[in-house]
Copies of this chain bind each other. A is one copy, B any other.
Amino acid sequence: MEPAIPDHLITARTRHPRVPADYEPPYPSFMARHGPSVKTLVMAYFGVQFRASDGAAAKGPLAAIAASFTAEDGPGHWDRAAYTDEQGFSNVISIAYWDHTASFERWFSTYGTAWSGDDTADARLGFFTEILKPSVERYETLFSAPDRAEGVAVIAEGMSGMVREHAYWGGMRDRIPLSQTDAMEPTGAPRIEEEGGLLRVIPHDNICLIRSGQDWTDTDPEERRMYLEEVEPVLKAGMDFLRDEGLSCGCFANRYMRVVDEAGRPVEKSFGMSWWKSLAQLERWSEFHPTHVAIFGAAMKYLSRLGPAAKLRLYHEVTVATADQQFFEYRNCHPKTGMLKAG
């Protein structure tokens, strides 16, 4: 058992963790571990939006950005996911991760800035770019198994052993190193600026992003049936609530996405990705909103029935970013796209 916060990020506390020193979690969980030289991470979401009938038009930009990821200074890892949003548009997002800001900035100035396009872009397509560049003190991960990294964890040095601070409400906060000294309360509110057809969201301090994933690749038929019939519909109902009514509880936007391979075919992995006004508001929804209480109850029932035999894999990554660690721009997207709802 090891503490969630690695040695090199431990500071003199002014705030207490939620559990006493003798706390022991009832089941194992693991975290991504970066080497001490890693100071900042980059999580970049490049989205394209289109009517399903215009799918062919998106192929060029999707191939181009995939190619750019293999160029010099490209990301250490990227993946891609798709979903149909509340306006009926298809959205495909290429998600790329760096652990070195300078490499990212070089790559971005060469390839990334062009993603959102200009007014010569194909009018059938909308484009958006959503980027966080948190210092490592401002994020955490959690994995149900240590042997298959996802998302930002793929570029980590490796996985931790079993960590202590999980399986209680507040563990998410306690795993973020900055929680040792900072409540991470939001200051200000996001606003939108337009410049030549490009909408930029000017963010506020301490916005929160969660990517929370499920991987049922390894489940046998009976477990798969249980997941898809008993858990997934409850998860989807919660995701739909956040998408449609999330603003009522501090969630600016939620995308419940299916991971796809390079050919665009769905694989047996999904994740919810949501933008929150603050970590506290994400905590409140998770802990007390009927839609998440139902998700948590269904997951608990599932996992306690299967025990360690469960082959379902769960993970998440949670970031709380300062205003200057954020970047959002949107072109030709409908007004309910991502952080545009926050304006």
Q: Which residues of A approach B to under 8 Å, CB–CB?
A: 15-16, 18-20, 23, 26, 167-170, 183, 185, 278, 280, 283-284, 287-288, 290, 293-294, 296-297, 300-301, 304
Contact = CB atoms under 8 A, between A and B. Distances in A.
Given A280-B23, A288-B168, A16 B183 contact: yes
Nearest to A283: B168
A271 to B, nearest CB: 23
A185 B16 CA distance: 13
A246 B167 CA distance: 18
A18 B170 contact: yes
Given A169-B170, A183-B20, A280-B23, A293 B297 contact: yes
A26 B290 CA distance: 11
Given A167-B288, A170-B169, A280-B19, A300 B293 contact: yes
Contacts of A278: 20
Contacts of A185: 20
B287 A304 contact: no
A142 to B, nearest CB: 14
Nearest to A287: B169
Contacts of A280: 19-20, 23
Nearest to A305: B290
Contacts of A293: 296-297, 300
Each complex incorporates copies of this chain amounting to 2
A26 B183 contact: no
Given A20-B280, A183-B20, A300-B293, A170 B167 contact: no
Nearest to A298: B297
A14 to B, nearest CB: 9
Given A169-B170, A294-B297, 14 more contacts: A16-B16, A18-B18, A20-B183, A20-B185, A20-B278, A20-B280, A23-B284, A168-B283, A168-B284, A290-B300, A290-B301, A290-B304, A293-B300, A297-B297
A8 to B, nearest CB: 25
A181 B48 CA distance: 51
A189 to B, nearest CB: 13
A18 B185 CA distance: 12
A290 B287 CA distance: 15
Nearest to A24: B284
26 contacts: A15-B16, A16-B183, A18-B18, A18-B170, A19-B280, A19-B284, A20-B185, A20-B280, A23-B280, A23-B284, A26-B288, A167-B288, A168-B283, A168-B284, A168-B287, A169-B169, A169-B170, A169-B287, A169-B288, A170-B170, A290-B300, A290-B301, A293-B296, A293-B297, A293-B300, A294-B297
